[in-house]
Structure 1
Amino acid sequence: MVVLSQPALNQFLLLKPCKSTPLFTGIPVVDFTHPDAKNLIVEACRDYGFFKLVNHGVPLELVANLENEALRFFKKSQSEKDRAGPPDPFGYGSKRIGPNGDVGWVEYLLLNTNPEVISPKSLSIFRESPHHFRAVVEKYITAVKNMCYAVLELMAEGLGIAQRNTLSRLLKDEKSDSCFRINHYPPCPEVPALNRNLVGFGEHTDPQIISVLRSNSTSGLQICLADGTWVSVPPDQTSFFINVGDALQVMTNGRFKSVKHRVLADTTKSRLSMIYFGGPALSEKIAPLPSVMVKGEESLYKEFTWWEYKKAAYTSRLADNRLAPFEKSAAD
């Protein structure tokens, strides 16, 4: 076992000691089969930007198959995994998150979900797997996409948008810039008791419209409440967690808030999470939807294309307020 030196370890520690946070019992839970699900979704997105979805309809067999294949990949030797990386941006990555100095106690696979745009490194991951990794990934993503479309359509109804597919069509577009990420957070038994937490993935908001997360039974995910308090999300490996992204915050003119979240690593158990990030086509214009705004309401954001925002987001640090340059000022 490799024991990191203190200087090397410091880059993964939170700057401030983080006391043990009890699991937060107030996470909104939406039953997909509930007759009032559309309004429950809107309420959760307005108050938290985050909710747990149960009775979602995604077969748990698909979830278990993908988890097994992902763990099989991450158990490979480092040299085998490195052949699928570094990410460009797709492929295998370890420790470094993006090009701007962010690090985390994590290794990951980042894949494009558009069948027309699969990177050579993604293909090498699938070719080297003797267990049909690609087929398992594609089945899982198809099921999660369909669930996500239905969530967005209920959301549109709850917002009073006449065209039910206003949001879902952006993800159904054949040029949709969506991606899929599998994060593996190894346990850290070599970390001494420093009264500080090891950062698995630093605090950030997701740039896309919506994120669909599933993780195993290891805790570590935290979200930031409206008052700035960080709370720990109880893990639930049979459910999905839905995050509001930056683009959806803009499209609802701030009614929904893109939730700030982070992951703290565990010293004894590994954590595996699988996230589908639903994004629009690169050329899609993002602005507050007129059908959401009331008469006389002013837009809080400048119009921009998804490519413009994505480029700005991925040249910033994780914790930056990436929407700030796109907010309207009194002079605009």
Structure 2
Amino acid sequence: MVFMSKPAPEQFSFIRNSKPTPFFSGIPLIDLSKPDSMHQLVKACEEFGFFKVINHGVPMEFISKLESEAVDFFSLPLSEKEKVGPPSPFGYGNKSIGQNGDVGWVEYLLLNTDQESISQRFSSVFGDNPEKFRCALNDYVSAVKRMACEILEMMADGLKLQQRNVFSKLFDG
């Protein structure tokens, strides 16, 4: 999760209000709600190796909750955020960027999805109740995992593999 310092919530309204369009005309756009999405996905993998998905089933509520929690976290004073760091490999970090281009300051939060680890890290910032952040993260990660498994199973189908979950079972465990 990478975030700008002290963002204004209106800076992110474009995420919720934009119409899905490719970043540039060459990136395949796969609508997972369409009947031919598997065919489109396989074609995108063969021709490009990547794609953008829409109608993916990750509830906007989960995205918005995690976004809100991120805004709350990154709005904290630096001394509070640093209690969740340094990243080793997970945690809060920040640095100056742009030696060869854009110059600025980036803050980041590297997380794993282990509930105990998140609760321990964030208890220093949120006291005894890091649950709101942890729940928002867990809901989002679970939904994204389901979407990833669906996409991987569609790829396996498209490759005509006997075992449909040959790729998605890698997410178990």
Instruction: Name the structure where strand makes up a greater proportion of residues.
Output: 1
Q: Give the residue type in structure 2 aligned to 1:38.
A: M
Q: Give the residue type in structure 1 aligned to 2:73.
A: F
Q: Give the residue type in structure 1 aligned to 2:71.
A: L
**Contact 1:27–1:51 (Cα < 8 Å) also in 2:** yes
The alignment's C-alpha RMSD in Å is: 2.7
TM-score computed with the length of structure 1 as normaliser = 0.40
**Contact 1:30–1:41 (Cα < 8 Å) also in 2:** yes
Question: What does residue 50 of structure 2 align with?
Answer: 50
**Contact 1:93–1:107 (Cα < 8 Å) also in 2:** yes
Pairwise CA distance, 1:149: 0.8
Counterparts of 1:47 and 1:125, CA distance in 2: 46
Q: Does 1:40 align with 2:59?
A: no
Counterparts of 2:139 and 2:119, CA distance in 1: 19
Cα displacement string for residues 179-201 of structure 1 (whole angstroms, at most 9, x for unaligned residues):
xxxxxxxxxxxxxxxxxxxxxxx
**Shift in CA distance, 126/49, structure 1 to aligned 2, threshold 3 Å:** farther
> Where do 1:263-278 residues align within 5 Å?
none
Counterparts of 1:121 and 1:131, CA distance in 2: 12
Partner secondary structure for residue 76 of structure 1: coil
**Shift in CA distance, 80/25, structure 1 to aligned 2, threshold 3 Å:** same
**Shift in CA distance, 45/129, structure 1 to aligned 2, threshold 3 Å:** farther
Cα displacement string for residues 288-320 of structure 1 (whole angstroms, at most 9, x for unaligned residues):
xxxxxxxxxxxxxxxxxxxxxxxxxxxxxxxxx
> Where do 1:13-24 residues align within 5 Å?
24=24
Pairwise CA distance, 1:115: 4.0
Pairwise CA distance, 1:92: 0.6
Q: Does 1:86 align with 2:101?
A: no
Counterparts of 1:169 and 1:45, CA distance in 2: 20
Question: What does residue 184 of structure 1 align with?
Answer: none
**Contact 2:122–2:130 (Cα < 8 Å) also in 1:** no
Partner secondary structure for residue 84 of structure 2: coil
Runs of at least 4 residues of structure 1 off by over 3 A? Answer: 114-120, 122-131
Counterparts of 1:54 and 1:84, CA distance in 2: 33
Q: Which structure 1 segments of 5+ residues have no match?
A: 1-22, 98-103, 175-332
TM-score computed with the length of structure 2 as normaliser = 0.73
Counterparts of 1:129 and 1:38, CA distance in 2: 42
**Shift in CA distance, 130/114, structure 1 to aligned 2, threshold 3 Å:** closer
Pairwise CA distance, 1:82: 0.6
Pairwise CA distance, 1:61: 1.1
**Contact 2:123–2:130 (Cα < 8 Å) also in 1:** no
Question: What does residue 113 of structure 1 align with?
Answer: 113
**Contact 1:90–1:121 (Cα < 8 Å) also in 2:** no
Identity of aligned residues (%): 50
Return 163-172 or 39-48, whichever deviates more.
39-48
**Contact 2:115–2:134 (Cα < 8 Å) also in 1:** no
Q: Which structure 2 segments of 5+ residues have no match?
A: 1-22, 98-103
**Contact 1:87–1:93 (Cα < 8 Å) also in 2:** yes
Question: What does residue 135 of structure 2 align with?
Answer: 135
Q: Give the residue type in structure 1 aligned to 2:145.
A: K
Question: What does residue 147 of structure 1 align with?
Answer: 147
Cα displacement string for residues 192-237 of structure 1 (whole angstroms, at most 9, x for unaligned residues):
xxxxxxxxxxxxxxxxxxxxxxxxxxxxxxxxxxxxxxxxxxxxxx
> Where do 1:1-332 residues align within 5 Å?
24-95=24-95, 105-115=105-115, 120-121=120-121, 124=124, 127=127, 132-172=132-172, 174=173
